[in-house]
Chain A
Amino acid sequence: MTSIIVDETVGPKLHAFIVGVGSYSYLEDGSAPGPKLPYAMGQLEAAPVSALSLANWLISQYRGPIPLGSIEILISSTDIPELTLKNGNNAKIEDRANNGQSLKAAFKRWYRRLNGISVENGMETKPTPQLEAQMQENVALFFFCGHGFEKGHVHLLLEEFGADRESLFENSFNFHNFYRGMKRAKPRTQLYFVDSCRTVPKAATERDTIEGISLIDILLSDKNDREAPILFSTVSNTTAWAPTNGTATRFTQALIACLNGAAGDHDEGVWQVTTGKLVSAMKDLLNTDPIKGQICISDGDRLSERRVLCVLDQPPTVRLTVACRPKEYLKKMTFKISNSFLGTLHERPEPQEEPWEVDVKAAAYVFEASISDGSRQIPREEIYVFPPRKDRTLDLV
């Protein structure tokens, strides 16, 4: 089962297409017999975990201006993973992202839902003009986690990549062409998340052309002035790193954190996550302290940047980090923040060597710092703790 249908009622919906490829049969430590491809690429434990994390979040925690309609999900993993549905039942994810056939079939189902295309007796029926107009309000979400590379375009690799050494890339697909082709889809809001490497492997440099699977043709008549940001986990020609401790990738964790409120914006009394804020918050979270030079970057067609994706029922939680310069002062400093209107108080009454990190609700606070030996007075100040994070460094030089 790869189609998780959540809501079939009439009206615009969010439809997600999630692909997580952790098992690569023909790469290092892969399950296929015989020698493996020598491209320094192996199995990715974090990819299925990441894909499942996002799918579980959508099912259990997503709250947007439009409901979740469906999740089309393909997972290539060493086991058969399960999703927990809202009614408490478990759904096994049995279909794998193994080759073009499975990818195309899943894509087709997702594409039809996005565009209101029905199938009767094996024949596709186009939507009525009224339904077609409604489909423009759908939100398309695409997420991929697995191996990838870039040679002109970003290519994403499926489980059976390398099955035929003579046609090495037949189980990969050209993300860029897929993205451009999706201009034909009706939804005016489309989100794309690509968590993969963008380096050029030797296998690619040796070939003049890399075709791969084509999911949808690009045509001149494709017209959609869409809000369609792409977030890549890394920039061109660089590697994306995956953890091996059973957790989701840093990119996925940041994405879920952003949707949970780290990309929250306060507009007309409502906390919400918009397309523009999601993109900037993701980059803020991931790029402030990048690991091994991995920099998140955005691309794609952009319009207003203000399409609301999630609505938050309370102010989001934000990480506040307080440090000082020179940092030796931390050993004798205490901190306190308070908001009398909210009735909140957070403090670190005992000095410590490390910066103070505390998760607080987004708001304005009175911030107080004091030095235990009384050698200096530090005036109180008002600080605004706003998503995605707040760093305050006291200059005591």
Chain B
Amino acid sequence: MISKLKLNFSEIPFELAGYPIHYKVMNQALERVVDGSILMDSGPRETTISLESEHGISAGKYVFTLLLPSGQMLSTPFQVEDGKESVVNVPYEHSPQEWLRSQTLLGHSLSRTQETLALEKLSVSVNISPNDPALVKPKIDFALYCPQYTDRSILLYKANMNVSAMHSRLHIVFEVSGQDYESATVAELKIGNTSRTVVLPPLSSRHINDQLTLDCAWSDTVESVTDLAVHVNMQNKAAQALLSYMQRGDIESAQKVSQPVIDEAYQMFREKMQDPAAACVAGYLLTSTSNWKHMPLDWCSNLSVFFPHIADGSIINAHRRIVDLPEDLSPSDLQGIADLLLLAAERGLPIYSAGLRLLNDDLLALSNSIKELGANKSLLRKVDLAYQRTTSWLQYCDFKNPFTTLIFESEKESRKIFTHQK
């Protein structure tokens, strides 16, 4: 006999679309008899769960529990009658406990002294098994994570994998798509105990069905992630080109078409709301060519404020403020810059390796400047901690890759930087 449980969800915020909600059905002895998860869509929604007798469900009283994205646990009693449908109404409310849920889930505090970045798993890992297994030895694992705690729910990327041969090399290509326009993600590739984490930019809302590809060039000689050539490709080809200029130090090539490149960067920076990842690329290019007039202070501030889950915005904002500092620094100048840089360090790994270097440099400059002006010991301690933290990231960073890429030769090394939450 199959009974049905109908769930009526109230309005679900758009940003929670794709979020999995876990549920349990317990009997009167509080033994779990059914569990599972429902992938949310935005807006009001009805979902029906089948309660089959083989689950041990028979007519009687049960408790339905649901872990809401708000962090609240909803428990609703309901009654099962043979062959009939029971109904549970599920309200959605933002909860003051949301921030607590994030920390509980990720297992670390909000303290700036936090030494490791928590990574929350966003999707299942993909074990590569191409058509010809002989081509991929040893095995490569792929997973996506969120690089830091968030004060709201995390959206899912969808990852597809395909294997193709190009120019006599095997390419393992991960296509990452979804609806996340606001936060960075960490992709982790593992071969044996070695791992490579690549920070992926958020998708662009300017491009319909925007997606990223992670292209791993594979050959017979690959035995660890250090042998693997990995390229991240964005659909925004203009941003990718600017990134490529910067990465190769090829500003002179860019200067051949000088004004168009700067204009392109300026335009990208202006359109940050549609494509924050491209805006950050533009910000770094304008910074490296000292084009300060193309980086109005309020735009830099907006890039930081509107995208709290992207460290790059706050790095660019802080650096832009530093440029405008007076020659004779006051304690309040230092405090202002410290607030911005500490915020940037707290937001976790930047998307771009240029940003990681800039953040590290600016933290060191701030630390030295605080010492020179006469110690504000408590501020100095916080800045030095943040500097140590970014230095530890820097030491594993592969600067050949424009997207922040950390390479670990062992799990022990990886644990110095990341705490994995699965």
Contact = CB atoms under 8 A, between A and B. Distances in A.
Interface of A: 150-153, 176-177, 180, 205, 208-209, 217-223, 225, 229-230, 235-237, 276-277, 279-280, 283, 297-305
A151 B395 contact: yes
Given A220-B329, A221-B327, A298-B249, A237 B289 contact: no
B361 A218 contact: yes
A303 B289 contact: yes
Contacts of B329: 220-221
Given A220-B369, A237-B398, A280-B253, A302 B323 contact: no
Contacts, number: 89
B249 A300 contact: yes
A205 B333 CA distance: 37
B163 interface: no
28 contacts: A150-B399, A151-B395, A152-B391, A176-B361, A205-B409, A217-B372, A218-B364, A218-B368, A219-B372, A220-B322, A220-B362, A220-B366, A220-B369, A221-B325, A222-B365, A223-B323, A223-B327, A225-B290, A236-B399, A237-B400, A280-B250, A280-B253, A283-B250, A297-B248, A298-B251, A299-B249, A300-B249, A302-B252
B365 A219 contact: yes
A205 B395 CA distance: 9
A167 B366 CA distance: 27
B337 interface: yes
B252 A305 contact: yes
Contacts of B357: 176
Contacts of A208: 392, 395
Contacts of B362: 220
Contact of B325 (A151, A220, A279, A300): A220
Contacts of B395: 151-152, 208-209
Contact of A219 (B249, B368, B391, B400): B368
Interface in B375-422: 391-392, 394-395, 397-400, 409
A69 B365 CA distance: 31
Contacts of A235: 400
Contact of B255 (A152, A205, A225, A305): A305
Interface string B348-372: 0000000001001110111011001
Nearest to B392: A208
Nearest to A225: B290
B248 A302 contact: no
Size bracket, chain B contacts:
35 or more
Contacts of B164: none
B334 interface: yes
Contacts of B252: 276-277, 279-280, 298, 302, 305
A205 B250 CA distance: 30
B374 to A, nearest CB: 14
Contacts of A298: 248-252
Interface string B28-55: 0000000000000000000000000000
A26 to B, nearest CB: 23
Nearest to B287: A301
A234 to B, nearest CB: 11
A280 B253 CA distance: 8
Interface of B: 248-253, 255, 288-290, 322-323, 325, 327-329, 333-334, 337, 357, 360-362, 364-366, 368-369, 372, 391-392, 394-395, 397-400, 409
Contact of B290 (A153, A217, A301): A301
B404 to A, nearest CB: 12
Nearest to A179: B361
Contacts of B327: 221, 223
Contacts of A218: 361, 364-365, 368
A262 B81 CA distance: 89
Contact of B394 (A153, A279, A283, A304): A153
A240 to B, nearest CB: 15
Nearest to B353: A236
Nearest to A205: B409
A221 B251 contact: no
Sorted from nearest, which 8 A-B pairs have the closest CB atoms?
Answer: A298-B249, A152-B394, A276-B252, A302-B251, A225-B290, A236-B399, A220-B369, A218-B365
Contact of B400 (A221, A223, A236): A236
Contacts of B392: 208
A383 B329 CA distance: 58
A276 B395 CA distance: 30
B288 A302 contact: yes
Given A151-B395, A208-B392, A220 B251 contact: no
Nearest to A238: B400
Given A209-B391, A220-B325, A300-B249, A152 B397 contact: yes
Q: Which of B251, B337, B394, B409 is most buried by chain A, counting CB atoms within 10 A of its CB? A: B251
Contact of B398 (A223, A236, A301): A236
Contacts of B397: 152
Nearest to B363: A218
Contacts of A221: 325, 327-329, 369
Contacts of B368: 217-220
Contacts of A230: 249
A237 B323 CA distance: 31
B337 A220 contact: yes
Contacts of A304: 255
Contacts of A237: 398-400
B14 to A, nearest CB: 40
